[in-house]
Structure 1
Amino acid sequence: MSSSIVSDRLSFAWADGTVVLDGLDAAFPTGRTGLIGVNGSGKSTLLKLIAGELAPLSGSVSVAGEVGYLPQNLPLDAGRTVAGLLGIADQRDALLAIERGEASEENFATVGDGWDVEERARAELDRLGLGHVDLDRTVGTLSGGEAVMVGLAALFLRGPDVLLLDEPTNNLDLDARHRLYAAVESWPGVLVVVSHDRALLELVDNVADLTGGAIRMYGGNLSDYEQMLAAEQETAERMVRVAEADVRRQKREWEEAQVKLARRVRYGNKMYAQKREPKIIMQERKRQAQVAAGKHRNMHADKLAEARDRLAEAEQVVRDDAAIRIELPETAVPAGRTVLTVTGLRTASGTVVEELVVRGPERIALLGPNGSGKTTFLRSLVGELEPVEGSVTVSVPGVRYLPQRLDLLEDSLSVVDNVRRFAPSASANAIRARLARFLFRGTRADQPAGTLSGGERFRAVLASLLSAEPPPQLLLLDEPTNNLDLASVRQLAQALEAYRGAFVVVSHDLPFLESAGITRWLSLDREGRLSQK
């Protein structure tokens, strides 16, 4: 039977009562499926439920075949060996014992059919660009990207029927990403991947869109999905326009009916006052007129209510594109003005930069393999780390750093109060006006930062950085698209488009970098030396 995943009225809530999924029905077919949705929609939770890492509150999820699961944050024991992470440590130890002459029944039972397990493990590591990693090396000595790839190698070695990947390209350099893409393309069974990586999502056979607590399945890759979604949205927006026109027409007819009824009442009152007919006949006519007027009024009111209901239904189908709209003229840097100068720099991680000058509103991408020192370099530029040698001179009044962890906010403070920390002299109205452009309107701006979803937190951090005093004319961004949904990545690109200062961004997300309008590409090699691409 073909491997598949089926959820039947699946519900899950956290211990504090927060509902994540409520009665979800879904079926994932054979092939590669990209699971997308905004941050906080329940994608990672759904993968954990499928993998058996979480138990549902109600309903069920069934999987035909063995499941392999790579979580977003791989739990690692720093003292564990690579062989242990690959799941071959016991077999390998038994093989080595047999080679030493310890031919016990227990050792042979442990080896089982895995006489070539070490060769297969090394081949899998080599396929993923980890041929240099020794099986006895401890996990604590691996970079984040290397650890993720070893975790993938472990899954590929097992060869489960169903493979679940949660943001697998986070922390991977470009070479590792391309190796992952190749591995995903060759995967023979069911694969469900949660990702914002456009290049990865172009390789899937289906896109599962988790929106509003329901999954809609679209055939094809991300580009196909976006085309179908655009067509759906065009139809939905046309239906909204039709419904709006109907509401206006029904409202106009209702108002006209009210005017006619008022005229009839005035005429009836006049006739009654003039007593041109017997009183009993006049009273009966008045009663009939009142009954007819009531029916007429109710009919038009019902039609107007129905038209408004149709409009509400049509509006629910249209997605809120949630586009942020900001203007940041105060961040502008004149062309040719020196923003940053680096001379003879050597950082604690061994990064060496002989000379780097950033002028005007340059948009610089910094690439390089995992472990080459990109984060240390950024932290040295912003003054968080002292260089071992050389100097860094920032020649503009405002410089801000966005770390990977998005840990700039105080969880106990509201969004408004967090922005006020960065802009203490701004008025409350000015802060709220700025936050509205970042989609924090009304009471949303008063939410404690600790209650925000990933996408909301990202927008709050952006609002804080870009509202800072003095206005930032140099931004340093470290892997800003990690853990962001597609909508948040688009919002970041919108913010950078409005930004008029210089920025240096570390990222392996090429589609994002291309949308950010990069003007210069720099690269650190494995030895930490900077060069221009």
Structure 2
Amino acid sequence: MPISTSAVTLDRITFTWPDGTPALTDVTGAFGAGRTGLIGRNGSGKSTLLALIAGTQTPASGTLVRTGTVDLLRQRLDATERVADVLGVSGALDAVRAIAAGDVDQRHFDAVGDDWDVEARATAALAEAGLPHDALDRHVGDLSGGEAMLAAIVGVRLRAHPIALLDEPTNNLDRDARARVYDLVRTWRGTLIVVSHDTQLLELMDETAELYANTLATFGGPYSAWREALDVEQAAARQAESAARQLVRREKRDRIHQEQVLATRAAMGRKAAIEKREPKIIMGGKKRAAQVSAGRLRIEAAGKEASARAALDAAERRVRDDESVHIELPDPGVAAGRRIATIGDDERSWVIQGPERVALIGPNGAGKTTLLERLVAGAAGAAAAGAESPASGVPKAGRIDSSGPDDTPTGRFSLLSARAEAHTDRIGYLSQRVDGLDDGASPLENLRRAAPGIGDVELRNRLARFLLRGDTVLRPVRALSGGERFRLALACLVMADPPPQLLVLDEPTNNLDLDTVDQVVEALAAYRGAVLVVSHDDGFLRRIVPDLVLELREGTLTEVG
């Protein structure tokens, strides 16, 4: 049901990056006082809009009005922080504990204020999210990436600002953690604006706001209702466009026919004048009348055609002409029986061979990312020892650890018997951190490094297929959106020579809009090499139709279904 009260109002908001690249131009709209899902294609400016609402960025022009204070979910946490710091309760918590220990310094009472039950409230909030009972005093570095994200979300909820902003809150979360986020969102109080590509999360929204071509349009209902309404609207728009196009053709034919009739009449008049069939004065009168009539008919026909063309232009503007990523994965020439990799534990092992698709699932902290990185690092080591080409995207030496978004840190986690071995050095690796890119260099420079033998014109053409064009290819990679970073990393992967025989993808749908996910699915369907993918996105895994699904849990691998 539509929410009538506006919590955030934007009037002709414009934001431009320091290098002059426009991010948002004259955006006008409003967010209601309930739960709103903010959607849009990668690069449309969703995260920038959240930053403007939060006040971490300032618009170049326009007016932004908020009805209360704003809290923005932190995407990056310091490993040395305590969870109490993430929740924003460390000051009051430490003061209460100091007073309980006998320290009656006035500054402690000032820090506590009326929040004497801060520890109980914080512990209960963490428990509601499924976090350990002692999490409050742990450091972020002692948590898995999923646990840290849950703690950050709990912090936003616990601080209870009138307006809360969550940017991709379910990225990297396993199924259980996602379910807990859904439960938190269902009972959220106040205004909540969520940027997400998680359709299950978007179904919990009261409203759906789409940022499209610098237009912010709000629909009263969750994502599925918005999608259905958009499909109906677009079907009607395409039908109206077709009818308008037919009308233009008909009016053009009528105008041409009218010209032919007028030309025939004029020819007959000239012939009659030559043959002097009537007195000259009468002939002259008829000629002038014919010219007046012809002029009137021409104006009328031209007006009808112009009106039809204007209607067609209006109809065409209603029809979306969204660009899509054009992904063509190279043919690595992998034979059906070619052994690519082996994954196993002390009990059994599984061989990936030929163009097989293998999905690796499991809870946060199970070690899926670490297992992938060991596989890729092994291939890189073989290449360094003299194999023909290194694995693309492999983490650099010294970076293989268990502190990735999917794993608990070194010291708390062990893969136990799980292991992976590559039988090829031609591996293309896309980590969920997309950390194989040079953040200080431009997309063009990154791609040039991946394909040094190709000229800049062709490199720009190939980047354009991934919707990276214009000034974007010259901006530092650190200024790109998550989706743009992923597309650049994928472009660098596609350019590898020789092409990879195994694609290793760690949470490939993170930060991708739904249209780009469709393109990735289609590209993988046509790819003739092997694919090993880690994902918590059940819908994506179903669509790539894996030949084998392995679950990693407590260091042991199990074949699923």
TM bucket by the smaller chain? 0.7 to 0.9
Amino acid of the structure 1 residue aligned with 2:164: L
Structure 1-normalised TM-score?
A: 0.84
Asked if 1:87 is matched to 2:70, the reply is no
Q: Counterparts of 1:127 and 1:62 in 2: how far apart (Å)?
A: 33
Counterpart residue type for residue 128 of structure 1: A
Q: What code does the residue aligned with 2:211 have?
A: L
Letter aligned with residue 364 of structure 1 = V
1:35 paired to 2:38? yes
Residue 504 of structure 1: CA displacement?
0.9
| Structure 2 match to 1:9 | 11
Distance 1:420 1:91 in 2: 51
Contact 1:198 1:511 (8 Å CA) reproduced: no
- Matching residue's letter, 1:392: E
Tell me which amino acid in the other structure corresponds to 1:156. R
Deviates more, 1:423-432 or 1:76-85: 423-432
1:99-178 pair list within 5 angstroms? 99-131=100-132, 133-178=134-179
Change in 2 beyond 3 A, CA 1:435/1:64? closer
- Give the Cα–Cα distance (whole angstroms) in 2 for the partners of residues 403 and 80 of structure 1: 25
Identify the residue that residue 347 of structure 1 maps to in structure 2.
none
| Amino acid of the structure 1 residue aligned with 2:209 | A
Q: Is the 8 A contact 1:368 1:523 kept in 2?
A: yes
Q: 2:504 aligns with which of 476, 479, 483?
A: 476
Most deviating of 318-327 and 498-507 = 318-327
Paired with 2:256 and 2:549, the residues of 1 have a C-alpha distance of 64
TM, length-normalised to structure 2: 0.81
Q: What is the aligned length?
A: 517
Task: Give the equivalent residue in structure 2 for 1:448.
Answer: 473
Separation in structure 2 between the aligned mates of residue 447 and residue 48 of structure 1, nearest angstrom: 20
Q: Quick one: distance in 2 between partners of 1:118 and 1:226? A: 43
Cα pair distance change 1:435/1:4, threshold 3 Å: closer
Of residues 358, 368, 375, the one that matches 1:364 is 358
Aligned to 2:532, what secondary structure does the other structure show?
A: strand
Change (3 A) 1:353 1:471: farther
TM-fit CA distance, 1:408 = 5.9
Which residue, 20, 40, 46 being the options, matches 2:49?
46
Quote how far apart the aligned CAs of 1:267 are. Answer: 2.3
Deviates more, 1:333-342 or 1:297-306: 333-342
SS at match of 1:135: helix
Aligned equivalents of 2:147, 2:358: Cα separation in 1: 26
Q: Does 1:494 align with 2:522?
A: yes
- Give CA-to-partner distance per residue, 1:436-489, whole Å, 9 cap, x none: 8x476xx95997264876545544544553464434442111111111122222
How far apart in 1 are the matches of 2:132 and 2:374?
A: 32
| Counterpart secondary structure, 1:448 | helix
SS in 1 for 2:58: coil
Deviations 1:256-293 (A, max 9, x none): 12222222232233233334444455445444433433
Structure 1: unaligned runs, 5 residues or longer: 345-351
Name the amino acid aligned to 1:50.
I
Q: Is the CA contact (8 Å cut-off) linking 2:466 and 2:488 kept in structure 1?
A: no
State the alpha-carbon separation in 2 of the partners of residues 284 and 400 from structure 1.
Answer: 84
2:9 corresponds to which letter in structure 1? S
Which consecutive unaligned segments of at least 5 residues does structure 2 have? 381-393, 402-416
AA at the equivalent of 2:559: Q
Residue 96 in 1 paired to residue 123 in 2?
A: no
Q: Tell me if structure 2 keeps the 8 A contact 1:332–1:361.
A: no
- Distance 1:340-1:423 versus aligned 2 partners, 3 A rule: farther
Preserved CA contact (<8 Å) 1:479 1:507: yes
Q: Could you say if the C-alpha distance between residues 444 and 276 of structure 1 is closer, same or farther in structure 2, counting changes exceeding 3 Å?
A: farther
Q: Check the 8 A contact 1:8/1:60 in 2, yes or no.
A: yes
Whole-angstrom distance in 2 between the partners of 1:140 and 1:356: 33
Answer yes or no: is 1:314 the counterpart of 2:342.
Answer: no
**Aligned counterpart in structure 2 of residue 512 of structure 1, from 540, 551, 554:** 540
Counterpart mapping for 1:417-456 below 5 A: 418=447, 421-422=450-451, 438=465, 444=469, 448=473, 450=475, 455=483
> Among 402, 408, 426, which residue is 2:430 paired with?
402
Residue identity (%) = 47
CA distance in 2 between partners of 1:20 and 1:428 (Å): 25
Question: In the aligned structure 1, how far is the partner of 2:475 from the partner of 2:485?
Answer: 8
| Shift, 1:191, TM fit | 1.4
Amino acid of the residue matched to residue 114 of structure 1? D
State the match for 1:530 in structure 2: 557
Are 1:399 and 1:472, in contact at CA under 8 Å, matched by a contact in 2? yes
Give the C-alpha shift of residue 201 in structure 1. Answer: 1.1
**Offset from partner CA, 1:380-422 (integer Å, 9 cap, x none):** 3233368999872335x8532223344667854659x948955
